[in-house]
Amino acid sequence: MSHRIGIIGGDGIGPEVLAAALDVVDATGVDYERIDYDLGGTRFLATGEILPDSVLDELRGLDAILLGAVGTPAVAPGILERGLLLKMRFALDLYVNHRPFLAGPSTLNDGVDMVVVRENTEGTYAGEGGFLRKDTPHEIATQGSVNTRMGVERCVRYAFDLARGRAAKQLHLVHKTNVLTFAGDLWQRTFDVVAAEYPDVTTGYDHVDAACIHFVQRPEKYDVIITDNLFGDILTDLGGAIGGGIGRAASGNLNPARTGPSLFEPVHGSAPDIAGTGAADPRAAIISAGMMLEFLGETAAAKRVHEVIASSDDVSGTTAEIGTQIAERI
């Protein structure tokens, strides 16, 4: 069956790394229909449009979306994040952000193999809050954290299912339950209730600040981590830095209930400093495409992509050359 895949190249190195990733997908022989979408900073500057509702409706009908990166120096921070990236996460209910960290022989932490499951539609990113008396000396800004039992539980369940399928079968909750006593309490109770259904999974808990120390000093202690939106955002950048660098950090914004497409993207941005030079490492985009194939049920193709990437330390050259060489090995 042919998969209908939406391609959002975006800006800067986004289209460059996606071209390499699609070379690799093509090499697997998986049958798919490619539907290109012109979205991102360049389109916004030219037309004032970020994500028209008609485009969002089209995206809903796809099987998956592959995104390069969006952002250009001429667009103020926040516009594309809220108007495009977060809008797709909320509108398509991409409630799990799945970020694997695999450190190969060329990195400091050879052998590290962990996944951070980040709640992706609630917490401080839900947009609750506002200003009072803005631009006066008595200005107040509030930014609330939204934590629903349903939203937390569906992510916790995803993380337990994931841990159950892995060799180490271990899951840590990471939060700040000692200070964020309301949200933390909801997370801890939900985690404990669901844990009772998974007696085969070993569980643990770390405060987020302690987890930062462990990430640097003994990351091998972790298998799967479940955490909230903000902690997950920060922790996964640290994970990227210890797990082979930004050129290998991949992610899936998942709708595990499969009420619509899931979206796969490298963690890095559009890197305007190297755009057009061929210096971008396409591996993060290729790993993201491999995760997409896995989620689409193309298990053998996904396995092959991950195997080739794992032994690709000797591959070098421009973005396109790396893509071609990895595609040839597939």
Active site residues: 125, 176, 209, 233, 237
- Segment holding 32, helix H or strand E: strand 32-36
**Site stretch for ligand NAI (CB under 6 A), options 124-132, 189-197, 225-233, 279-287:** 279-287
| Candidate segments 29-37, 90-98, 125-133, 274-282, binder of ligand NAI by CB under 6 A | 274-282
Helix 299-310 and helix 319-329, axial crossing angle in degrees, nearest 10: 120
Is the dihedral angle over the CA atoms 319, 325, 329, 330 positive or is it negative?
positive
Q: Of residues 63, 119, 206, 281, which one binds ligand NAI by CB under 6 A?
A: 281
Binding to ligand NAI (CB under 6 A): which residues in 124-153? Answer: none
Residues found in the chain:
330
Nearer to ligand NAI, 139 or 273 (CB): 273
Residue 269 binding ligand NAI, by CB under 6 A? yes
Cβ(252)–Cβ(97) below 8 Å: yes
Alpha helices in the chain (DSSP H): 14-28, 41-47, 53-60, 79-80, 87-91, 149-164, 183-195, 208-217, 229-242, 283-295, 299-310, 319-329
Q: Is 233 in the site for Mg ion (CB under 5 A)?
A: yes
Total interface residues for Mg ion by CB under 5 A: 1
Coil vs helix vs strand at 157: helix
Nearer to ligand NAI, 152 or 315 (CB): 315
Tell me the closest approach of the beta carbon of residue 298 to ligand NAI, in angstroms.
24
Query: Is residue 30 at the binding interface for ligand NAI, with CB under 6 A as the rule?
Result: no
| Contact status, residue 147 vs residue 191, Cβ threshold 8 Å | no
Contact between 320 and 19 under an 8 Å Cβ cutoff? The reply is yes
Which one of residues 280, 289, 326, 327 is an interface residue with ligand NAI (CB under 6 A)? 280
Question: 100 with 115: CB under 8 angstroms?
Answer: yes
Quick one: tokens of 13?
Answer: 């190195």
Cβ nearer to ligand NAI, comparing 30 with 291: 291
Binding segment toward ligand NAI, per CB under 6 A, in 65-73, 153-161, 216-224, 309-317: 65-73
Number of residues in contact with ligand NAI, rule: CB under 6 A? 19
Please tell me whether residue 111 adopts helix, strand or coil conformation: coil
For the window 229-268, what string marks contact with ligand NAI as x by the rule CB under 6 A?
A: -----------------xx-----------------x--x
Q: Counting contacts by CB under 6 A, is residue 274 touching ligand NAI?
A: yes
Could you tell me which residues come within 8 angstroms of residue 136 by beta carbon, excluding any fewer than 6 positions away? none
Residue with tokens 């994970």: 239
Query: Rule CB under 6 A: which residues touch ligand NAI?
Result: 17, 69-71, 77, 85, 246-247, 265, 268-274, 280-281, 284
